[in-house]
Amino acid sequence: MLDYLINAGVYAFTKDIFKYLPEKGDIEVTAFPKLASERRIRGVIYRDVYWKSVDTVKDVEEVEKVISEVYA
């Protein structure tokens, strides 16, 4: 197991997720623990991939530059 993992915030759900979503609140502290207790949640570990947090327009511009260089 890797020493450090992150939640990249990218999810793929089936329509059953609506049964678990709270009316208000954070799904990571409401729905995810319930799904985990029912063994209905999975994670994927990606190794040797480019990852960048994109929180600002500047971040998007930096990622666009990297992608254009890789696929040039």
CB 45 within 8 Å of CB 5: yes
pLDDT of residue 3: 76
Assigned token pair, 4: 């450090």
Mean pLDDT of all residues in 16-44: 93
Report if residue 6 sits inside a domain: no
Residue 2 confidence (pLDDT) above 70: no
Distance CA 30, CA 25 (A): 7
Does residue 5 lie in a domain region?
no
The answer to whether position 22 is within a domain reads yes
Query: Looking at the domain assignment, is residue 3 inside a domain?
Result: no
Structural domain includes residue 30: yes
Q: How many domains does the chain have?
A: 1
Q: How confident is the model at residue 8 (pLDDT cuts 50, 70, 90)?
A: confident
Q: Domain span at residue 22?
A: 15-70
Determine, yes or no, domain membership for 10. Answer: no
